[in-house]
Structure formats: structure tokens, C-alpha cells
Amino acid sequence: MAYPWILTVTWPVDMDNGDYPLIKPGPYWKKFKANFCEFTAVLIQQCQYSILYDSYLMDTVISLLTGLADSRVRAFRHTSTLAAVKLLTALVRVNLNLDVSKCNAQRLYQVEKNRISVKRTNQRLDQLERKRKEYEQKPLEIENMMNAIFKGTFLQRYRDVIPEIRAVCIEELGSWMKMYPDTFLNDSYLKYIGWMLYDKQPEVRLKCLLGLQGIYDKKELVSKMDLFTSRFKDRIVSMTLDKDHEVAVQAMKLLMLMSQNCEDALSSEDCETLFQFVYTTHRPLAVAAGEFLYKRLLSYQGTEEEVPPKRRGKFGANTCYIRKLITFFLDSELHKHVTYLVDSLWDWAGSLLKDWECMTTLLLETAEEELSDAQESALIEIILVTVREAAEGHPPVGRGAAKKILSAKEKKIQLEDCTKITEHFIVVLPQLLAKYSADAEKVANLLQIPQYYDLDVYSTGRLEKHVDALLSVVKAIVAEHSDMDVLEACSRTYYVLCNEELAIHKMADLARTQLMDELVDKLNKLLDDSWHEGEGFCTDEEGVCRIYSTLRRIAAFHNAHNLTKWNLYGKTSKLLVFEMEYGSLPVQMILPALQCTYFALLWQLASVVERSSSKETLLALNRELRFFCQICACYLSHKDQDLSEKAFMILCDLLMIVSHQSSLDDEAVGVLPNASLQSKMLLFIQDHVFMEEKEEIKDLTEEEEREKESYKLNDLHRRRSLLAAYCKLIVFTVVEMSAAAEIYKHYMKTYNDFGDIIKETLSRTRHNNKIQSARTLILCLQQLFQKHTETHGSTNSMDSSFTNIKELARRFSLTFGWDQVKSRESVAMIHKEGIEFAFQGAAGVEGKCLPPNLNFLLIISEFSNKLLKPDKRLVYSYLKRYITEPASCRGDEWHPLVWYRNSLLANEDEENSVISSLREWSPTSRSKTSSFKRKLSNGSLPETSHTETTNKTPDFLCTPELTAAAGKSRKKLKSQDTSFQECLPFFCPVGLSRRHSEDMIKAEDFSAEDVGEEVDVVGADQVCDGVYQPCTWPTGADQSLETTHPHPCYTGSRWRGQIKGGRAGQSGLAEEKEGPVLLAAAEAVGTVDSDYAAD
């Protein structure tokens, strides 16, 4: 036998290697797998008449496959298992063919035996007898082969550690049961599928469900599944909640088959549970649940003659099913989810859901069983949703990433449905509006139907008379209702009908003009009666209500219609100014007045943008916009919460719109918020979004608990809307990016409520300006640290507030992701600003006293792992410039400095000997980072001794162990220490005192010989256009945090030329008075781009 030798010679290979043909991706290997499976089937098929029973070939093959299936090598085990189960499948087919042949031979034998003795031949009879016995013997041999494969391979491998092998076994077992139920469809085999329903891998569970579907789909096989159904039904029901969507969908389909073919397999509780899946957001599962609901509850299996007579006639045959659908919707108590219910049933109950004639007849006609008010509301909502689904042709929000692309056939059906909707509701809708005109909820839903009309049908079908009927009913509804949903639906209906491309737009425009004339005249009369000279605005409660309702109607129409010719701005702004000065007007009247003023300004702005206007017009509009912003800013502190929040939302939207128009057109009106307005808006966010939660009241009833939860959800939605509106201003640079620091402070505390908004704001601002975004993060941490020091002292680093700041810094560092090259400038800026902040207050004392903000180094150490290895060395060298007396940096109080230093040197090869515990830093000879050739004015390069350099610039030094380890891996970084470190923008502040600063480097120039071949220019992943880009801050070191401006990594042609040519360009000498070290580093970087120099 060859297979033991194969196992022996392949034993040293990687046994868990996943690179073998059966699991390789790509069409070629998929075809190979299919051909491999086909080969086993063809082999058995070709050998089924003789060779299959020679007791050699199959015994050898089965022994080989069984032996390989026990191999520890994954490739052998998987391949042999697949071959073995496919071999068994082929043997099952052979056995089925033998059964057919056996039956035929038995029949021929009986026919020959029953012949009369004269015509019967013994030779023929003996031949048939031998053939019959042969067919009886062969299945026994096949059964033995099948048992050998099943026991030798399946029973060992269906529990294999590799899920692909388990899936292969279960998939083939399901096919054996379906093909050969007499042998395999019994409880001794079904138990394996039942057990594997609990498998951890979704692939295996899916194969189990698919195999069971093939069994439950055949009624003749279901009778053998009673015990299995009773044992594993609950498990299958629970699998509809599987985390894998495909498993859940197939479980739902299996339960539908069980419900159809197994009587009483599912209880009423099970069905009610499964019905609720029509509301799930995953559309395939919802559609499967919709099919289950339709076939279980809404479909009719009998003939049309069996329909009860009372359901026929004018109400139609679908009446009873529509009633059932309404009842199901109301019983589910998810009234806002009817859109999802209709979408789930759309593929299966399309004809029922498109029977609008039957639905409207139920609403208009009097039936024996009249609909209740709740049923009428539900039916109207169903009508609206079905009309929208038919007209738009795509699933609702949340059940698809984008709008569905319709095929030609689907578009044709959509057009036919739109025509059908229009022809039916043109006549019926006015009647429905007239009947339910007093019910605001029903009217608001019905008035949305005209949006989905094919309005050309009015003219092509000569149905203009129905336009007048609709407009008259809508006008009456406007006069009767003051609910904003109803008024906005009426306004939208007028907007649709007033489209200038329609033949009926003149009729609709005339009706709209008449309606607005009446409303404006009524408002003018009410305001004239309320304004009194010397007394101001004075009216009774009834007058306030009339003004309020009229303003609401006008505001609803002003949103979608240009009402500039009625000059509403002057009237409403007068009310706002009076309230701002005296504060005596009712809030319910100020809200619609504020909206009307806002819409009036937007329509003026739109007219200015669409066509060129004079300079005087632009200046006048600019004044009006600024004045309105002042009004809104005043209302931010109003005692009424609804009014203040409405003013804030309007102000945010207006600033966004105006800033967008200003970016498109230089001559457009531009209104940017000043510092005072920005501070007011930020204070509003802090008071209304990040306010402290009230203490919860205990011992509440169930109803009070539900009301409380509903209030909390609505309040959270309101606060999220306010925060999102403000964050948009930050993202689009309408307000200063530094304002985001106040938002970032609440990132940890309010992560569950606002974490997604804050993260998106951080991501967008970083995309806009990486450097400024980094400064905002460090500003946030600095402000929190200063607040901590004011409360707990500067040396307390064990308090929970300091721990929270450190955790916030860690969260900020995680937002930079894995691409260190992409974020290197931002992270370097954080370290630079953090080091400068940590050593504030150390100037003038030569570092002998402890800097008050030294603990801040512990916070910025969270960003050290985001630095590239070369940048860590540069940050480390920048840190050393702040320690002028290394010998004095001893003791526990300097632990933050040691911690931060070790975080920078953690990954350095030469710093492996650094220990994290505190130890004494003895002064040693200074690193070679300052050993440069100085270029004097006469061009000579005098040598400077190492001792002289050390004496001139004492620095932050390493331990002796560290120095010894450093010599082992200095080769590649020898030149980099001298050139690259001086080019990074870690400039020491001018205010920091240094001894012998007058002897420092004035300017630096490198030649190709100075650089040499040992320079390690980082790597290919840190270059741009093939050129290495250092992170630089070309700003002055004496600039404070508030005054510095962001500058990107300098990638000008001069720097590129220096790197490519192997030398640094000549740089002019700077004035010694400005700080030699700062100017030397600045000159080494190069000239700043003019765009950033202007900053």
C-alpha cells in the first residue's frame, strides 16, 4: 500500500497550512473542485457493472481514503473526506439504479414463470433467476461499502476541528437522506444533523438547514420526521435570531415548510413570534417572514366560488384579508412600522396590497362590520405606504444601502402602477378628504398621496374638474387646522400642483394666491388691531391664538413657496424686536414669527444668488442677515427652552447656508460669526446638550416608566440634533476649530449618547486640517489638565480625574489608526505642544525646580506608540533641550519625565537596556547629534572638539548602560543623528534660558560628503513622490498655543532637490539676536511656502 509512505514523507509539512486546491479562491480552483467531485461520480458510474464488485478496487480506495481522513495534515484530511463522501453519494445512486433493475428483473421473472408450460423455456427462466439473485446480492455489497465509508470517514470527520470538513459531511448527509430515505432517513442518522444545528460556525448550521429543507419539502418524507421535529423544533425557531443573516433566513424558510407540511408542528405562540420578523431591518429575513405571514394568514387556498358571499360584490374578494392585515398590524403595537410590514409582504401579496379600490371602498362605503377609528387610521396609513412603494419602487430607509436599480420590466410595472394610482385617487381622494377633514392624522396621511400622481393624467384624461374639487377641499382644511403636519402636507400639495410644467399649474397658482391673500390680510388686520401707540403690542388671549394660528399657516407655506411679494419680513421682524426688547409676547406667537422671518431671508438670499443684484441690494441683505443673527443670539438665552433651541437650529442652518453661498461666489453675502456669537453658541451647547442628568425617581408605575423612557428618548434625539448642527459648523469651518476642544472633553462621559457624532467630527476636522485638528486635541487635554491641577494640585497623578484625562488621551490616540505615515505630522505636533506645555514655568530657574505641568508628560505618552521610529528619536532630542541640569532630575517627582522618556525609547534597538524604574541619570559625554561642521562667513570649516561641544551644550543624558548599548547599532543612524534631527521642527522656545546659547549653531549646510552613504532615510512607505518628507513647524518657537498657525509638511521643490541631490541647499545666515538654535533649525528646513507664510 502506498498511502502510509505518503503520510510518512509528508509528515514534516505544515499540518495546518490553508494553502491547498480545495480552499484556494478563484474560478480556476472552484472548477478544479467541481471536476474533482465529478471524477469520483464518473469513476463509480463507469465501474458499476463489474469492477465495482471485484473486492479489490473499492477496498483499496476506501482504505486509502479512510487512512488519509485520519491524517493530521489538513489538506489530506479535507481532500480525502470530500472524496469519500462524494464516493458514498455515487454509491447511493448505484444502489438506486440496482433497486430499479431488481424490480424489473423480478417482474420479468414472474412474467416468464406464469407462462404456459408449452411456451416457457427453462433456459430463459434460469437466466432470469440468476439475474434476479445477482441483483439481490449486489446491493448487499454496496451497503457494505457505504457502511465502511460512513463509519470510517463520516463518523470521524463530522466533528472535525475544521468547519469546512464538517460542512461537507453534513451537506452530503442531507443529500443521502433525500436520495435514499429508506436507508438514511431515520433517527439514527437524523441525530447528526440535529446535533450540528448547535455548531459554532454559521457555515455548518447553514448546511444543516438546507439539508432539512430538502426533506421537509416532500410530504412523503415528513411522516418520518415526527421525533426529530419534536426534539429540534425549538432550536430551529431560535435560529431565526442567528447572528448570521443567511442562517436566519434559511431557518425562516425551513419553518415555513414545516408549517405547510407538518400539522401542528408550530404552535400559535411560535407563529406569533415568527410573524414579528416582518419588522426586522434585514430585508431578506423580513421577506421570508412576509412569505410565512402571507401563506399562514393572508392567502386563500380555495377557489373563487368558495369565497363567502358577504365578501363579494362592491367590497371585493380581498376584503377579509385586508381586515386580517389591519388586525395584525394593530395587534403588533408597532404603529410607526407599517412601512416595513408592507415592504415585507410586497413580493408575495402585491395583488392584495395594490387593491386600492377595495381599500377605499371599505373607507367610503358602509359595510356590515364597520371599521373602528383605529382600523380606519391603520388602513389609511397602509394605503399611503402601498402607494409610495408602488410609485418609488425601492425599499424603505434602513432596508437597503441605496436606491434599488429597477429593470426595464420593473420600470414598466412602476409606470402602470402610477397611472393606476392617479386615475383612481383623482376621483376618490377629494371624497376621502371631505369625510375625514376633522381628523388631523388621517388628513395628513391622505394629503401625501398627490406627490405620487402622474399629473399629466389630469390633462390627458380631461379630469380638470377634479382639480377644483381637490383645491377647494385643501383650502378648507387649511382654514380648519393649525396642526403643523397637516399644514405642511397642504403646502406640499400646492407645491406639487403649481409646477410650471403642468397644464393645470395656472389653476393651482390662482388658488394659492387667493389663499395667501386671505391669510396675509387676516394677519395684517390682527396685527393692526394689536399695535397701539404708546402701549406697544396689546391683545387678549383670543387675539393671541388667532395671530398664532395665522402665523403658523403662513410659516408652513413660506417654507415651500416664495411669498416675498407679500412683504412678511417687516411684520414678523417687528414682533421679534419687540419681544427682544420687552419680552412680553407669548412664546407660541414668537416661534412661527421667527420661522417666517427666517424663510423670508432665505428667499431673498435665493433670489440674490440666482440673478445678479446691485451692490445696494447685497448690502441691505447683509445688514438684515446680521441683524437676524443678533436676534437669534439674543433668543439663545430665552427662558423658554423650545424657543431657544429653535433659534439655535435656525442660526446654525443660516450660518451654514450663508457660508456655502460665500464659498461659491465672492460677491455673495457673507456673514461669519464673530467671537461673541461663537462663545454664546458654545455656551448654549454646554447648557443644553452636556448638562448634568437629573436624579431618577424610583418606585414608578409601569405607565410612568414607559412615559419616562419615551421622554428620555425624545430628549436624547433633541440633544443629538443640537450637537450635530453645531458640529457641522466646526467641520465646515464656520466657527473656529478650537471650539471643538470643549466638545471633545465630553467624549468619554457621553460616549454612548454622542460618541458617534464626536468621532465623526474629529475625523472630518482631521481631514480638513491635520495640524489644527491635532492642536485642538492637545488644547482639550491641556484645559482638562489645568482644571485638574486647580482642583487636586499639580503633583497628584493618582486621582480618578487624572486617570480619566489619561484614558481620554488614549482614546484620542486610537483615532489615528494604523497608518503612522499619514498621521505623523499630527502626532508630532501633539508631542511638541505637549512638551512645551509640560515645561511651562521652568524658564529662569535653569530647570532646578520642578515644572508645574510635568505630569502632563504622562498624558502625551499615550501618543508615543503612534510615532515613527525616526520621529521618536527627534522628539526625544527635542525633550532633552528642556533639561539643562540632568543631574538635578532625580527623585520620585521626576517620574513622569522618566516614563515619557522610556515611552519614546521603548522600541529602539540601542535602548533595550532601559528599565522603567526610576534611577539616577549620571552625566556622560554628549551624543554626536550636535557634532557638526560649522560654516563660517569666510567659508572655512573649523573643527570643534567633542569635549568643547559637550561643555557648551549640556543636555538630557542617558545612563551608562544606555550609552554602552547605543554603540552597537549606531552605524546606519550616524549621519542621520547630525542632519535629520536638526531639521525636525522641535524648536526650543526663546524664553527658555540656556547657558552658552551664544555659542550654538547659527546656520547649517550639508554636502554630499557630509551625508555619506550611511544615512537611513526611513523607508519607502514614508516618502511622497519618491521623496522623504520630514514633519516641520516653520513657525517661530516663541509663538504661544493660541497664536501659532498650522503648517503642513514642507514638500517644496527645494527640499526635494536637496534629498535627491544628496546635499542641503545654501541657506542665508540669520540674525544672532533672534536665537541661534531656532534660526539654525529653521534655515535647515528651508523656506516656507508663500501660502503658509501669509498665515
> How many whole angstroms separate alpha carbon 245 and alpha carbon 795?
54
State yes or no: pLDDT of 471 exceeds 60.
yes
pLDDT classification of 116: cutoffs 50, 70, 90: low
Find the distance separating the first CA and the last CA of the chain, reported in whole Å.
Answer: 83
Instruction: In whole angstroms, give the CA distance from residue 861 to residue 834.
Output: 9
For 515-542, the pLDDT digits (tens) are 999 999 999 999 888 887 666 777 788 8
pLDDT (mean) for 127-147? 84
Distance CA 468, CA 476 (A): 12
- Rounded CA separation 686/745 (Å): 11
Lowest mean pLDDT among 678-682, 694-698, 882-886, 985-989: 985-989
**Sign of the torsion formed by the C-alpha atoms of 371, 375, 380 and 382:** negative
For residue 791, what pLDDT is reported?
84
Asked if 1047 contacts 1035 with a C-beta cutoff of 8 angstroms, the reply is yes
Q: Give me the torsion for CA of 1075, 1077, 1079, 1084, rounded to 10°.
A: 180
Residues 6+ apart with CB under 8 A from 620: none
Residues in the chain, total:
1095
**Backbone phi, then psi, for 448, in 5-degree steps?**
-85, -15
CA angle 42, 45, 47 (to 5 degrees): 110
- pLDDT tens by residue, 1030-1047: 333 333 333 332 333 333
Q: In this structure, how many other beta carbons lie within 10 angstroms of the beta carbon of residue 955?
A: 18
Confidence of residue 1015 (pLDDT cuts 50, 70, 90): very low
The C-alpha cell that represents 151 in the structure block: 463509519
Q: What is the pLDDT of residue 16?
A: 58
C-alpha distances in Å from residue 900, one per residue of 466, 857, 861, 886, 906: 80, 6, 5, 15, 10
In the predicted model, what is the mean pLDDT of residues 756-770? Answer: 94
Task: Look up residue 474 and give its three cell numbers.
Answer: 385643501
The answer to whether the beta carbons of residues 669 and 629 sit under 8 Å apart is no
Give the C-alpha separation, 568 to 584, whole Å.
21
Least confident interval from 204-213, 521-530, 678-687, 775-784: 521-530
User: Is residue 707 over pLDDT 70?
Assistant: yes
Nearest to 856 by CA among 837, 877, 875: 837
For residue 354, pLDDT over 90 is answered with: yes
**Structure confidence by residue, pLDDT tens digits, 87-104:** 999 999 998 888 888 788
Q: What per-residue string of b and e applies to 250-284 under the rule 16 or more CB within 10 Å gives b? A: bbbbbbbbbbbbbeebbeeebbeebbebbbbebbe
Query: What is the average per-residue pLDDT within 906-918?
Result: 44
Find all residues with CB under 8 Å of 977, minimum gap 6, and list them. 873, 927, 928, 929, 970
In 3D space, the residue among 900, 850, 856 whose CA is nearest the CA of residue 875 turns out to be 900
pLDDT score recorded for residue 18: 65
53-67, 255-269, 394-408: lowest mean pLDDT where? 394-408
Residue with cell 397658482: 509
- pLDDT tens track for 808-852: 999 999 999 888 899 999 999 999 999 999 988 765 444 457 788
444 to 449, 487, 629: CA distances (angstroms): 10, 8, 33
Q: Percent of the chain beyond pLDDT 90?
A: 50
* C-alpha span between 254 and 236 (Å, rounded): 8
Average pLDDT over residues 280-287: 93
**255 vs 336, which has greater pLDDT?**
255
Q: Is the pLDDT of residue 348 over 80?
A: yes
Top pLDDT among 1064 and 258 is at: 258
Confidence of residue 668 (pLDDT cuts 50, 70, 90): low
pLDDT at 1005 over 80: no
Residue % of the chain over a pLDDT of 70: 75
Cβ pair 491, 560 in contact under 8 A: yes
Count Cα atoms within 13 angstroms, Cβ side, for 602. Answer: 20
Instruction: Give strand pairing partners of 531.
Output: 537
Q: Which amino acid is at 143?
A: E
Euclidean distance between CA atoms 421 and 356, whole angstroms: 8
| DSSP class of 1087 | P
- Helix (H), strand (E), coil (C) string for 1006-1027: CCHHHHCCCCCCCCHHHEECCE
- pLDDT of res. 301: 55
What confidence score (pLDDT) does residue 1061 get? 35
Rama region for 769: left / alpha / beta (φ>0; ψ in -120 to 50; rest): beta
Read off the pLDDT of residues 492-507 as tens digits, 9 standing for 90 and up: 999 999 998 888 889 9
The residue type of 236 is I
E-only strand ranges, 859-1008: none
* Helix, strand, coil abundance in the chain, percent, nearest 5: 70, 0, 30
| Range of lowest pLDDT (537-541, 729-733, 1017-1021) | 1017-1021
Mean pLDDT over all residues of the chain?
78
**In the prediction, which pLDDT does 1016 show?**
32
In the predicted structure, residue 1003 carries a pLDDT above the cut 60: no
pLDDT of residue 693: 72
> What is the Cα–Cα distance from 802 to 789, expressed in whole angstroms?
9
Q: Find, among 571, 535, 531, the residue nearest to 550 by Cα.
A: 571
This prediction has a pTM of 0.73
Cα separation, 820 vs 927, in Å, equals: 27
Choice between 33 and 1055, residue whose per-residue pLDDT is larger? 33
**pLDDT for the residue numbered 89:** 94
- Residue where the block lists cell 516618502: 1023
Which cell goes with 815?
A: 483615532
Place 1082 in a pLDDT band, splitting at 50, 70 and 90. Answer: very low
Q: Which of 966, 987, 892, 871 is nearest to 924 (CA)?
A: 966
pLDDT digit string (tens) for 636-645? 999 999 999 9
Q: In angstroms, rounded to a whole number, what is the distance separating the alpha carbons of residues 175 and 159? A: 18
Parallel, antiparallel, or unpaired: how do β-strands 536-537 and 531-532 relate? antiparallel
